[in-house]
């Protein structure tokens, strides 16, 4: 049970840090609007170069490089955090 709680806390911290990265990269979005399950494209209207820079910054910050196929399945901050956790970062 404790391990699950620790994993949830780690995931929550990652979600917060990833939201900060997204806000910094995009520049016009406010953190209060970046909820874990909001989709980058559909809900937040983020696309193109902003998403490319976001992906690059997440890879740089967490020092990992998942396959492009993995990134294609990612559409939210929560999914991004789960990807980072899967790569044991």
pLDDT at 1 (0 to 100): 52
Can you give the pTM of this predicted structure? 0.91
Residues 74/38, Cβ–Cβ less than 8 Å: no
pLDDT at 2 (0 to 100): 62
Residues 52/84, Cβ–Cβ less than 8 Å: no
Residues 18/77, Cβ–Cβ less than 8 Å: yes
At 18-75, the pLDDT tens digits run 999 999 999 999 999 999 999 999 999 998 999 999 999 999 999 999 999 999 999 9
Residues 76/37, Cβ–Cβ less than 8 Å: yes
Instruction: For the chain, list the domains and their CATH numbers.
Output: 2-86 (1.10.1200.10)
Residue among 3, 47, 1 nearest 25 (CA): 47
């Amino acid at each position: 049970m404790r391990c699950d709680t620790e994993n949830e806390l780690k995931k929550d911290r990652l979600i917060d840090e990833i939201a900060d990265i997204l806000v910094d990269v995009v520049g016009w979005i406010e953190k209060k609007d970046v909820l874990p399950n909001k989709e980058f494209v559909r809900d937040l209207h983020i696309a193109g170069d902003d998403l490319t820079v976001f992906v690059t910054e997440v890879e740089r910050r967490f020092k990992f490089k998942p396959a492009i196929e993995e990134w294609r399945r990612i559409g939210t901050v929560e999914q991004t955090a789960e990807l980072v956790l899967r790569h044991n970062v």
